[in-house]
Structure 1
């Protein structure tokens, strides 16, 4: 027994890569505030790239203040040391932050930026630095259009999944968005999965995509009321393609609020870096430098919620099929 006990190793002795894999199963809150308090070696892992190959702060970013989002992203991307493969964040407020992402996107493969305020011009500048992207989500991004999609397609040659969904109110002032369909058709021939729900497309625009994207396996055109596709044509020319829409036949027709009848404030909690998350570093941490990366955190408030705005909620008031 004594010999076996001597061979046992403590958790703090695991190599950083192994600890990073374990910590990825924890919530963002736990990784940033609980794990660093355990011991110096764990704090070192959290402050390094080991936990940040996948950065998913979409839910939190929907509720934070713009300046808090900027600082959080800069901190986590800096910690990743350019090794992050996935980034999921909602509501980028400026082009400079998108440019910052591009500067560190050497290994980035999945980029999800729904509800962001990025522009066509910044996408044209940054897209050449996103050459390894395979999945892109630019849903509800009102300020971009065909120019941005064309730039993504020209420079992201490995792109196989694109999500470009909109809310009807966000496209109410537009006449037609077939230019986006043409941009996709001309520059993204390797697409296998394409979501374009509620864009103002016509049959001609969708047919152009089908003629150029021959590897397409899934097409979401829910709410694209002007699109009329012949079922016989699809079976003959695109037998392996699954088309969803244009009629709405999914969860959006259910009563969303009925599913939330058990909602309780007890499922919502918040925490703040300075008041609840960082105070323990003032004399109580083994490594005071964990958070010191040239980016002061004074006033940074981080709130986490048990629930979240999901796609069903966002589309709750979408109009039914005419």
Structure 2
């Protein structure tokens, strides 16, 4: 007796839509939509494209642009790896309802400028979550984002990997800009930032609704400072990840996903306590390959 296989066309539209969402934007546009006319008609539904996650490197940016266009302005959540200027421009013009924007591995996107990020932010008034990985933002750019996106509740800002242990430069520009313009923040991640205690105090005072704070790799901070301890306690932060907390090699969502990156707690402690430049540059302290670290 011949086996009886289900007819995929008979599935309810809602079920098929969920299946195509699991397939992903790129694969739907490159293959799945051509399976049958029924699937093609579903692929034209703007509701299918409210969420677009492209979490692997893709050089086929025309496909991603098509996915954004098919949302017909209903795009709410988008993740792009190695974003380019034309994509950012398209998102800004098509995403007035956008709630969550993730731009990963920005350091490889030479055409993404602070100007473009500012112009994009100005067109996203409903943005609630922003994730910028390996980005180099100016103070003016951070302020523009805060002023243009008053509903912003979740900010994840990760410095370029090579700057995390670069000479312990102190700079509170990012912190002061955040404190000045992002009063509604609930969750803040500042991995590898050059923020000092003064900058953190300004954030705690300027962002009274903060619930979680991730400061891993922010090596200029001294959380044992009495005034900072009091401020943290007063702010009632529910989840605090300190500067020297272990950064696992598998933290692909937190660093450039194209590269391996490991900092163990021993290395961080040794560097923080080091006053000798030779000790700071000693590759004997590293578990990982020396090429994973940059001293400039």
Shared fold (TM-score greater than 0.5)? yes
Q: Does the residue aligned with 2:122 lie in a helix, a strand or coil? A: helix
Per-residue CA deviation, residues 223-253 of structure 1 (Å, 9 max, x unaligned), is 111111247425631234322121133534x
Residue 103, structure 1, aligned to residue 93, structure 2: yes
Aligned length: 252
- Summarize the Cα distance change of 1:213–1:315 in structure 2 as closer, same or farther, 3 Å threshold: farther
Structure 2 distance, partners of 1:29, 1:104, is: 18
Q: Which residue of 1 aligns with 2:81?
A: 90
Structure 2 distance, partners of 1:112, 1:75, is: 18
Q: CA deviation at 1:97?
A: 2.8
Instruction: Please provide the CA RMSD for this pair.
Output: 2.8
Q: Does the residue aligned with 1:164 lie in a helix, a strand or coil? A: strand
Q: Which residue of 1 aligns with 2:131?
A: 137
Q: CA deviation at 1:164?
A: 0.2
Report matched runs for 1:16-55 at 5 Å: 19-28=16-25, 30-55=27-52
Match of 2:154 among 150, 153, 161: 161
2:13 touches 2:42 (CA, 8 Å); kept in 1? Answer: yes
Q: CA deviation at 1:145?
A: 2.1
Match of 2:233 among 236, 246, 250: 236
Per-residue CA deviation, residues 205-229 of structure 1 (Å, 9 max, x unaligned), is 0110011111101111111111112
Q: Which residue of 1 aligns with 2:184?
A: 190
Report matched runs for 1:108-257 at 5 Å: 108-116=98-106, 117=109, 118-142=112-136, 144-170=137-163, 172=166, 175-230=169-224, 232-234=229-231, 236-252=233-249
- Summarize the Cα distance change of 1:123–1:310 in structure 2 as closer, same or farther, 3 Å threshold: closer
Residue 316, structure 1, aligned to residue 253, structure 2: no
Which ranges of structure 1 fall in alignment gaps of 5 or more residues? 1-8, 257-307
Q: Does the residue aligned with 1:55 lie in a helix, a strand or coil? A: strand
Q: Does the residue aligned with 2:41 lie in a helix, a strand or coil? A: helix
Q: Does the residue aligned with 1:150 lie in a helix, a strand or coil? A: helix
Q: Which has the higher contact order (CA 8 A, sep 6+)?
A: 1
- TM-score (ref. length: structure 1): 0.69
- TM-score (ref. length: structure 2): 0.75
Which ranges of structure 2 fall in alignment gaps of 5 or more residues? 1-5, 273-296
- Summarize the Cα distance change of 1:130–1:234 in structure 2 as closer, same or farther, 3 Å threshold: same
Q: CA deviation at 1:166?
A: 1.9
